[in-house]
Chains A and B, each alone.
Chain A
Amino acid sequence: MSEPLLEIDSIQGNVLPGFGSAAQLLVGVTGSPEGLRAFLADLAPRLASARDVLGGRRQVRAALAARLADPDRGATWFNVALSAAGLRKLGRPDLDAFDTAFKLGLAARSGTLGDPRQASIGGLPNPGHKSHWVVGGPGNEADVLVIVGADDEPARAEAETWLRAAADGRATISYAERGNARLENREHFGFRDDISHPGVRGLVETNPPSFLTTRHLAEQLPDGPEFGLPGQPLVWPGQFVLGYPTQSQVGHRDPGPVASNLPAWAVNGSFLVFRRLQQDVPGFVRDTDAMAADLAARPGWAGMTGARLRALIVGRWPSGVPVGRSPLADDPTIAADRFALNHFGYEKAVPPVRLGSGELVPSAPADPDGLLVPHFAHVRKVNPRDRDTDQGAAVVTLSLRLLRRGLPFGPDYDHDRADNPDNARPRGLLFLSYQASIQRQFEVIQAKWMNSASAPESVAGEDLLIGQRNGPGGDRTRTGFVVRPDLQGDPVPALQDWVLPTGGGYFFAPSIPAVREMAGLVPIRREAAMPQLGPSYTLRRVELKRRVDALPTELDEWKERTLEEVDKNAHFTQVQTIDALLRVSVDKQQAIVSSLAGAADAAEFTTKSFELIQMINRAQTVWDYFRDKFNLRLIPKFASDLWIADTIAWDCYFTVMTNAVIAGIVARDKFREPPLTFLITEFSPYTYKRGDALKLGKENVALPVPVIGLPCDHLPNPWEFVYLAHEVAHDLERDLDLLEPLKGALAGALAASQIPQARAWCWTAWLQEVFADLVALHLCGPAFSQGLATILSLPADKVLTPNPAGPHPTHYVRIPMNAAYLSRMAASVPALEADAKALRESWVAAYGDGGELAKFADDFTLVFDALMTTKIPVFQNQTVADLVPYAAADDTRIRDVADYIRTGNNNPGRVPPRFCVSASRLAVTAAASQNADPTGLLNDIKTRTETLVRAGAPDGLRSSGARPRLEEAAADLGL
């Protein structure tokens, strides 16, 4: 699937691509519905779209590339998000499809996130308890959160002034706080942040195509995620923005479904988590120094320092260097390579990768056991990368990723002057993340991973940095386990929190058109915002039209070309049906081509054109399959032999279907084209019935016309074709919908019998093959059983091996069964008894009495009755035997013809083709008694058989003449 075109005029710019501003302002607003609406009406025109921010970011990037000084971007960006309460106030009560966590809000969810339960500690208010939060506690929640991104303080101050004026008299600003990027993007504990982000898939332009996330690697690894930058896996946009394909949980590079149950106004929106995380900088340093000293006193950890333990807790050194790349100390040379900072995994060593620029990013070692980076390290907890987790295979982690947009708040801690009054002021991180589901993304990472002592990878402790824990009696101790080389873990307990949640909220950042609508402004028409598809799409559409036309053109040419060379009567109906069915598909393809001209955007175009290509493939696949078989008739040798086979098959099919139509069992339009024979290189013939689904190339197609494969080495011996009666019987079973009635008849008979269960089950499993044998005996008489015995004359171990699972009866049983049926037929045709006896005796002579297998003979009568002489209600109470009578006259005729074929005396004239081949088989069997070299005789038999078949072949087209219902048939075939 090609990546979708992102609606960058609708998506807010802090969602994609993110403001990236150095100065941020968060403003929480509450108010009445009217007041909020008026406030939003002022704000909406100022909202920065993804396109606005992308323009700005690219401008900055271009300026930096040109080595200009930090350009004056001059942009102050506004974005907005609403809580569930805010949405309801603005007339959006239809939140059913939104996740429960969002609807309940952060304050209600605070407990599940592990936030402190005690409202006070030692009589003092606990700032981490929701009742004391700066914003977002019960009764203190913002309806609206405005996020401002600015270049500098004056621009931000101007924005705040404007916001306050816009709210004045309409709504209340309940919270306002500034976030500022610190030097080198380091958060207050001193660690470089903002290194690892997912790359969002999707196009921002179609002409020429331009991805939101640039692919910098010269070559992708053969599997696993595809990367934008090293360590930046590409994730499908629906994981962050509603209305787009989500990330597959199976294939790293595959899309998952688009969430389908969302209200239309939610499309292009994203859920926002805001957590005000207060950091205790001196506490972190003090405690970790003490923990390191304690650890250093234990075996194996000599030399452990506070700095190193802090790096183990974070998973990176302050410079951002991953600990796995430099286990013992920070390394400024690695830190200078921004790509190396994020190119690493845990399960496997990552190989070096080359960027498009030619730059080589070095390999990094594997660390599955956490010897280098403990499993509890913060960056490993929140993103286990290539490790499988408690949530499943590693690919699942891609669907948990977040778009982080937070910045630090509060003054820097002055380590040099502990008494600096600023040190007493709060500081921390205004954590912001956008995602498609708060419950299935953010909350999983916080509650199931960071807070868990046994996830995502192993029982290695909680995330000491940000993980929250409520032990018995309010115990907040979190314990990480650092791993010694012998894989034993040493506990490192953190006795208190260094990071406390002190505010926040769950919000939804709607699309800009949705905000305008909520604000009562005229909605922006979606079409107006869409770029027009360019000339490259016109060209593509014309190309596709030509591809659609390829099949009908070829069909016409093929029919024209083969008019003289392929027997039109023999194959007309088959070709006609296949042609007509394919044209149903072609008509649909034409309609899709036409609709492409009206495609609203590239995503619609590519989706439709992909559907079209699949339809073309399916239709071409069907034609390719049959064209191969028809084309065999262009080779004179095969044309003759296959014509004989086709004619015998037709005679078998025609005889039964005609009787069925006359008896009113089937409508004429169910009497369809006969099977088409072709050549195979197998031991035994087979048929695919009409409607059988075949995997052809990459397509599953159902066959419109049955086919019968003939072992190509059988062509010199046309008497083998007597088995066509058996294969056609399979096809008749399908076309007459006989399977269920037969199953019913047999099951009923077996249930009422004393037959041991084990044998009864065998007969059930063998039903279809037994049926085909019996019908074949009716069609061709004893010749069929002789032909079958020839094919089954296999080594004894194969003949005697029971096959209770079917579908074929155990070989040994099959010949006595044929013989028994011949005896039964002999009631009306006495000559058959001798054939039956000969067959039985030769079989026993070759393979013995069969032991246990002989007991199946006890069941023959019951099975024969059930399948052949049960009156079938949907069969107008006729029996199968009624449809294929084998009369004494037929038997006599076949034997007379056999004499002719063997001797050349008394040419019988026109004989039904199936009788010709039956006679041919009998002639060959009889020839065994002649002592002379049979080569010449067999040649004569072949010639006479073929001549007789040609003489006896029915004239005219091979069908009932009724046209199938093509629309229906095409749908059945998936065309």
Chain B
Amino acid sequence: MPLERFSAPGNLQDLSPEMAQGWSDLVEHWLNTEVRRLKAGEPARPIRFFNERASPVPATAATAAIPWDGFPKVLKLTQTGDAVWAEAEKLRSLAARFRGQFFTLQNGQSIPIDFGYRNQDEYLEWRITPGGAAGQLASVAFTCEPPEYWQFIAGGTRALASGNELAQIPHVVGGDPDFLLTLYRQLCGPAVQLADLVHPSDVFFVTDGQPEVFAREGEYNLYNKWNTTHGIVHLTHPSNTLRAEINLAAGGSVLRKAPNGSPVTDPLRLICCSGYGSPNRSSDPTIGSRVNGLTRAGLSVTLRDPIGLYLNAINLDGFEGPNGEDVSGAWQVRRGQAAAGPGTTGTIVRAEFAPDPAAGFRVDQVLIGGEPIRFGGQIADKIGMVLTGKAHDFGGAAPALEACSNHCCRSPAHADFLAILEPEQGCQVLDDPNQPTQHWVEAFPVMVGGPSGLAATPPGVAAAGGGPVPAGLVATPAGLARDSANAPGAAMLRAASRRFIPGLSRRS
């Protein structure tokens, strides 16, 4: 039976019937976009990713729940001690992340501004509400609501689709700022004003000599104070988006081959080869590789409705009050649904850990395995995330193995930290000019056709790659711009900017 429509994340019933249809059409458009991208202009090209509304599957179609840890793996890799937790709770600069500068124009003057996002990149974000005194914690709120859903509520279809795209979407609906405000007040309290939630003037972003409009006056501000410094409503990390999930599933469905022709199956090599998501997480490599495993088995894949990345469950084992009290009542699902029972998954999109005031203790007095809670991350570490894929065998020709579209480099500071680059970018574009002896190196030389020498390439030695870009008299006839600035970070930005910066549309 065909799917009637794509539901809101977590089956939330916030939207009016008209907006619900608009959301469904938008999600379908994103799926279709991925399908088109995979088809690469050849309608007959076999692919293994589908839009369930266009290609119905039986109700018994297999599903695959893919779990991952909610706490950021990258912090466990790169930090030690309490810094693991503390780093997760600092707001990070969006400008710094993309190596550029935001500014607004006022009276012809450019005023630098910035936005903060949470340093939590496993599609789960949280924020603590402090208690009355230093060190006291009143509650911790968790969300995995995608930013797009809130952009949609605020600005409708147009907030998320460009002019050309709008023509492909049957029901283009407007936003409902009043309802946005109502929801925000429900979640953050009555002090929220609509003016708090929107950009007061145009915002520009400039990097690498390439400025763009980031947001227009009056548009919804994803990083507004009620979703950052004063509250939490939805995901803010630039990688934590619904489109990233869809892209990940679509990207994972592409079968890849190494330069030597062998299929790429190792999760990290695959993510580096395909260039979806981030290799430094628990989530993305696993999601992409699971999807790839299904496609290798001949199945076509999609994401199960309601499409979303969900808080599946929390493991409250070892949580207890200061006198051994049961604290399970402190965990409250606010939006979405907890798992119905064994063998099912939760579709929770918002939850809070907040002991009942009558219980007589605060969050910071709760112990986990004997350790007092001092950071929200200690709770996040007990949270399992999940997304559910759907697979069906439509038959048809198997797609050909495709060559890699990207590659990875390893950090000199943390050898387990990887960055995905475009094929023509050598690892040295990531080098810090202030650290002349510290070099990023090819993570998997065999994946870029590196030479197989007498000995295996030892860590710390890169395989051959393109040199830096020289300053030339003119651009080459092919029109390829050569970057005489040789700016480190420019490449990183371009690589990162391909990963769907909400509110920022950039060339790829």
Contacts and interface: CB of A to CB of B under 8 A. Distances in A.
A111 B473 contact: no
B371 interface: yes
Interface in B485-502: 485-486
Contact of B285 (A96, A101, A392, A805): A392
Given A700-B431, A974-B436, A388 B317 contact: no
Interface stretch (A29-37, A205-213, A684-692, A881-889): A684-692
A368 B292 CA distance: 12
18 contacts: A97-B81, A251-B459, A256-B415, A348-B265, A368-B293, A388-B286, A458-B65, A479-B343, A684-B474, A693-B431, A693-B433, A694-B468, A695-B465, A726-B473, A730-B484, A806-B481, A807-B484, A808-B482
B289 A111 contact: no
A486 interface: yes
B114 to A, nearest CB: 19
Contacts of B312: 454, 459
Contacts of B76: 440
Contact of A393 (B289, B320, B345): B289
B268 A111 contact: no
Contacts of A452: 315, 384
Given A100-B371, A769-B484, 11 more contacts: A223-B269, A223-B446, A250-B443, A347-B265, A390-B286, A393-B285, A459-B65, A479-B342, A702-B436, A792-B474, A974-B436
Interface string B421-463: 0000011100101001101000110100000000011111111
B18 interface: no
A594 B316 CA distance: 58
Given A108-B370, A114-B317, A696 B474 contact: no
Interface in A765-796: 765-769, 772, 788, 791-792, 794
B226 interface: no
Interface string B33-68: 000000000000000000000000000101011111
A697 interface: yes
Nearest to B488: A693
A572 interface: no
Contacts of A391: 68-69, 73, 282
A965 to B, nearest CB: 15
Contact of B484 (A224, A456, A614, A768): A768
B164 to A, nearest CB: 20
A472 B456 CA distance: 54
Contacts of B318: 109-114, 447
Best-surrounded residue of B108, B262, B370, B427 (most CB of chain A within 10 A): B370
Contacts of A127: none
A700 B317 contact: no
A196 interface: no
Contacts of A702: 436
Nearest to A795: B477
A393 B266 contact: yes
B343 A248 contact: no
A694 B467 contact: yes
Interface string A929-972: 00000000000000000000000000000000000000000011
Interface string A2-14: 0000000000000
A842 interface: no
A765 B485 CA distance: 9
B481 A109 contact: no
A614 B418 CA distance: 22
A539 interface: no
B481 A803 contact: yes
Contact of B464 (A112, A395, A695): A695
Nearest to B269: A223
Contact of A447 (B317, B459, B472): B317
B343 A761 contact: no
Contact of B281 (A112, A392, A761, A765): A392
Contacts of B463: 698
B468 A692 contact: yes
Interface of A: 1, 96-97, 100-101, 104-105, 108-114, 117, 222-224, 248-251, 253-257, 261, 347-348, 368, 388-395, 440, 447-448, 451-461, 468, 470, 472, 479, 481, 486-489, 491, 493, 610, 614, 617, 682-689, 692-700, 702, 709, 723, 726-727, 730, 751, 757, 761, 764-769, 772, 788, 791-792, 794, 798, 801, 803-808, 811, 971-974
Contact of A695 (B320, B443, B467): B467
A1 B459 contact: yes
B210 A111 contact: no
Nearest to B483: A807
Given A390-B282, A394-B267, A451-B315, A692 B486 contact: yes
Contact of A687 (B204, B410, B470): B470
Contact of A459 (B60, B67, B426, B481): B67
A487 B62 contact: yes
Given A347-B293, A392-B73, A764-B209, A451 B281 contact: no
A390 B68 contact: yes
B333 to A, nearest CB: 14
Nearest to B486: A692
Contacts of B369: 101, 104, 108-109, 111-112
Given A250-B410, A700-B462, A390 B474 contact: no
B130 interface: no
A250 B69 contact: no
Contacts of A100: 371
A254 B368 CA distance: 34
Given A684-B472, A798-B477, A805-B209, A491 B428 contact: no
A692 B486 CA distance: 8
Given A256-B415, A697-B464, A769-B484, A808 B268 contact: no
B77 to A, nearest CB: 6
Nearest to B439: A700
B210 A805 contact: yes
Given A392-B285, A451-B315, A769-B484, A1 B415 contact: no
Contact of A761 (B209, B320, B428, B484): B209
Given A101-B369, A686-B472, A458 B482 contact: no
A346 to B, nearest CB: 10
Contacts of B281: 392
What are the nearest 4 A-B pairs in CB distance?
A108-B370, A765-B209, A112-B318, A111-B318
Interface core residue of A393, A685, A751 (most chain B CB under 10 Å): A393
Contact of B470 (A479, A686, A699, A806): A686
A685 B474 CA distance: 8
Contacts of A804: 210
B461 A104 contact: no
Interface centre among A454, A687, A696, A794 (most CB of B within 10 A): A454
Interface-central residue, B110, B281, B371, by most chain A CB under 10 Å: B371
Contacts of A261: 80-81
A916 to B, nearest CB: 20
A390 B436 contact: no
Contacts of A767: 209
A730 B471 contact: yes
B473 A493 contact: no
Given A388-B267, A390-B68, A454 B384 contact: yes
B415 A248 contact: yes
Nearest to B453: A698
B59 to A, nearest CB: 11
A461 B370 CA distance: 27
B276 interface: no
B479 A451 contact: no
A472 B331 CA distance: 13
A257 B484 CA distance: 36
Contacts of A455: 67, 384
Given A453-B342, A682-B476, A798-B479, A394 B266 contact: yes
B116 to A, nearest CB: 26
Contact of B386 (A393, A454, A689, A768): A454
Contact of B343 (A393, A447, A489): A489
